[in-house]
Structure 1
Amino acid sequence: MAPTHYTVVTIGSAGDLFPFIALALGLRARGHRVSFLAPEQHGPWVRAAGLPFTGLPVDEAVLHDPDLWHPTRGFGVVWRATRPAMARIVPFVEGLPADERCVLLVHPLALPEADLCRAVHPGVKIAAAYLAPANLMTVHDPLMIGPWRVPAWVPLAARRAFWRWVGRRFIDPVALADVNAARAAHALQPVPSLMDWIATVPDLSLTLFPDWFAPTQPDWPQPLVRGDFPLFDPNADTTLSADLQAFLHAGPPPLVFTHGTGNAQAAAYFRHARAAAQQLGRRAVFLTPHRDQVPADLPGTMLWQDYVPLRTLLPHAAALIHHGGIGTTAEALRAGTPQLVVPLAHDQFDNGARVTALGVGGSLPAARLNERRLVRALGGLLAAPGLDERTRDVAGRFQPGTGIDRMCDALTSRSRSPDVLPSPRLP
């Protein structure tokens, strides 16, 4: 039997990209053909991994949109920014040989276009890879709505009604017209609500996080394969720069501050970070590719770096203070590094709550961030009894490679049996 062609599609920052590269490499190692579609700026990383790359258009102006990190308006910014890229999926799949067995392994925001591919390449299978627990809607605890935790006593019926309201108020007005216009162009039925429909699209769903971080919920899509954090480091052999090595050797472990490679609006964050580190008498490293976001007058106890692999840096850090992206969160968990999550939007609040529940960090919403609160949060975190034992325990839960093997095995076994999972139908 000929190998299956896996078409991997993702969007977003490096944190979104790297887990998909890890999966793609696992599939290629099993002898399958793999194509990789991702934002154009990620081409060097994908090509360096030896994967065939198709660049997708990127509107970099989105990085400066003030609503990008807004808890409710952020979805609309991301949706509109990614539609030109997602529109490239259907013609790519349509151009594949008609008799080629194909599986689409996609970011959840690519699911509407992946479903359209069924009309142009009959028999195509779709696997959705969920990077973070908050990407999977649930009515069960723990349930975070942005920075707010829903109390356990709120009935499930009320929670379902709330999610329906969220869909009608914030999701459908942004996305539904685009989705149904594309479906009409392929003579497909319209969908009444994006949130109700999108989870029915995949033939298989994968979690790119382990069950010890987020247990399976009864209302998550099925069939579901639980993975692990598929951490991928494109610069695994990179050594620290001479400047950074000298800085690390010159004093005690520093605090490491970052707010994500894709955040070009972090000037206030780094300003508060500088002030808090000084007040605490701590050395600090600031990580961002946007040098203008970091105060220009850094003292000798502080250092700016545009990029350092966290896997290499975190063993030298006293704590990591970051935005709560799932990739950054996982790297700190693996390194056994205490972390303070300063979430802005999207899945970051939920990730911060889970770090707190594990006892290896805390969370301080970015909307409430100031020097005083940051000093208090960091002081409390670093002085917490038993912190070292808890971070070591969590780091010991990582089992390199097992999650990738489990997910790749599930993908390959499903793709060999086209009758195992019939394509979903509209309700």
Structure 2
Amino acid sequence: MRVLLTSWGSRGDVEPVVGLAVALRELGAEAVVAAPPDEDFVQLLGRVGVPLVPLGPTVHSIVARPARPTAEDAFRLAAQLVGARFEALLPAAKDCDAVVAAGLMPAGVRDVADKLGIRYVLTAYHLLGLPSRRFPPGRRPGTPSPEGETDLKKLWEQDAQRVNDLYQEPLNTHRAAIGLPPVDNVRDYVFTDRPWLAADPVLCPSEGMTELDVVQTGAWILPDERPLPDGLERFLDAGEPPVYVGFGSMASYLPKDMATTAIEAVRACGRRVVLARGWAGLASIDDADDCFVVGEVNQQALFPRMAAVVHHGGAGTTTTASRAGAPQVVVPQIADQPSWAARVAELGAGVAHDGGTPTLESLSAALETALKPEIAAGARALAAEVRPDGATVAAKLLLEGN
């Protein structure tokens, strides 16, 4: 069996499909990944020996700008990605038995699968965008819902219209070019009636949360056996467990003084700092020896050795920190991140910071709470519940045709 896996987005969108590719390979199947051509992902796929099909523009070129992307940027990117999917995936999927799509609204993937007559699976990493009678839709570019609207059915209908506004015209243009009829409701066509949910059931309970028949596999975790850099090992061995601070791809969303605020807050709690540069290029604020700056690093090896992990609340980082048993301070910036922050706090494994712009005082207070023994105990209890086998579960479902 040969499977094409595709995702466009940051590392948290791409690494899970790489984890699934490795799990498929371990069960005797072939897998290829279509993903953005960022150097991070070229190296990631090269490290595990999975072929990469370049898809669309680099993510860095979109999100690592000084200014946040505008609505106009979103509409341009939507059309660009639809075209890129038809161009890249039609040839890549020709010898495949199934296509699995994840990441930013993958309009154009099911169309390719339908044209080739092969199986299609949509996978979400969280519940935020799946139609529900329990919660409203998340924000999307386009015409907002009327102020004060509370009817969930109407809100989700308006969400579907926003997706159509973004994707319908370019999608139907490309469908017509390959002999497919137009799609009326892009969102529901992309999602299908039975999407998969690649999220841990403890961190993201799904039963009764959406109108769709969700298949929850657990998070798709890529095993990482890389050693930590020698300098980092020496830093860790030189004192008490430090606090990790990192915000992944949140370049244009972070306050300009985030590094200063974070380092000073950690120092105020009497701890050393491991600071991740991330896509924002965070850097040390002085020459003191209590701060060690890292680039891309094995978080699976690092987080169990942290006193706490301060992060943005991406699905991948939240899952990794939870598996490690590390107390968390989640400073959410966009999209699904507030929901992960709230869940970590609800489980007693960390603190959800109020808003995405911390001050020295607010972040110090959150850290002081996260470093309490009862939070450490909650984090350890959570670690025992998080499943490590989601990618294997998904791979078996694909191979069995379920």
Give the shorter-chain TM-score range. Answer: 0.7 to 0.9
Q: How does 1:129-148 map to 2 (within 5 A)?
A: 129-140=123-134, 145=138
> Alignment length, in residue pairs?
389
The equivalent of 1:53 in structure 2 is 52
One-letter amino acid of the counterpart of residue 97, structure 2? C
State which of 406, 409, 412 in structure 1 corresponds to 2:393. Answer: 406
1:240 aligns to 2:233 (yes or no): no
Contact 1:253/1:317, CA 8 A, preserved across alignment: yes
SS class of match (2:203): coil
TM-score normalised according to structure 1 size: 0.81
The equivalent of 1:180 in structure 2 is 172
1:205 aligns to 2:205 (yes or no): no
d(CA) in 2 for partners of 1:158, 1:215: 23
Gaps of 5+ in 1: 147-155, 416-427
Mark the CA change 1:294 to 1:87 in structure 2 (over 3 Å): closer, same or farther: farther
d(CA) in 1 for partners of 2:201, 2:353: 24
Q: How does 1:9-408 map to 2 (within 5 A)?
A: 9-40=6-37, 41=39, 42-59=41-58, 60-65=60-65, 68=68, 79=78, 82-83=81-82, 85-93=84-92, 96-97=94-95, 102-107=97-102, 109=104, 111-122=106-117, 124-140=118-134, 145=138, 158-168=151-161, 170-200=162-192, 205-218=195-208, 220=210, 223-234=213-224, 236=225, 238-261=226-249, 263=251, 266=254, 267-289=256-278, 292-364=281-353, 366-383=355-372, 386-401=374-389, 403-408=390-395
Contact 2:134/2:210, CA 8 A, preserved across alignment: no
One-letter amino acid of the counterpart of residue 164, structure 1? E
Q: Which moved more, 1:351-360 or 1:291-300?
A: 291-300
Contact 1:8/1:104, CA 8 A, preserved across alignment: yes
The equivalent of 1:425 in structure 2 is none
Contact 2:86/2:108, CA 8 A, preserved across alignment: yes
How far residue 338 of structure 1 moved from its aligned partner, in angstroms, is 0.7
One-letter amino acid of the counterpart of residue 27, structure 2? R
Percent identity of paired positions between Structure 1 and Structure 2: 22
Mark the CA change 1:56 to 1:139 in structure 2 (over 3 Å): closer, same or farther: same
Question: Residue by residue, what CA displacement relative to the aligned partner does 1:25-45 show, whole Å, maximum 9, x if unpaired?
Answer: 222223223222112231222
Mark the CA change 1:81 to 1:301 in structure 2 (over 3 Å): closer, same or farther: farther
Q: Which moved more, 1:319-328 or 1:125-134?
A: 125-134
SS class of match (2:221): coil
d(CA) in 2 for partners of 1:129, 1:195: 13
Question: Residue by residue, what CA displacement relative to the aligned partner does 1:56-110 show, whole Å, maximum 9, x if unpaired?
Answer: 242432123456578x88965864664454233443256x25xxx6100111546
Contact 2:217/2:391, CA 8 A, preserved across alignment: yes
The equivalent of 2:142 in structure 1 is none
Mark the CA change 1:356 to 1:78 in structure 2 (over 3 Å): closer, same or farther: farther
Q: CA RMSD in A?
A: 3.0
Contact 2:5/2:33, CA 8 A, preserved across alignment: yes
How far residue 347 of structure 1 moved from its aligned partner, in angstroms, is 1.6
d(CA) in 1 for partners of 2:75, 2:362: 30
Gaps of 5+ in 2: 140-148
SS class of match (1:163): helix
d(CA) in 1 for partners of 2:258, 2:394: 37
SS class of match (2:15): helix
How far residue 399 of structure 1 moved from its aligned partner, in angstroms, is 3.9
One-letter amino acid of the counterpart of residue 44, structure 1? Q
d(CA) in 2 for partners of 1:291, 1:298: 20
Q: Which moved more, 1:49-58 or 1:345-354?
A: 49-58
One-letter amino acid of the counterpart of residue 256, structure 1? Y
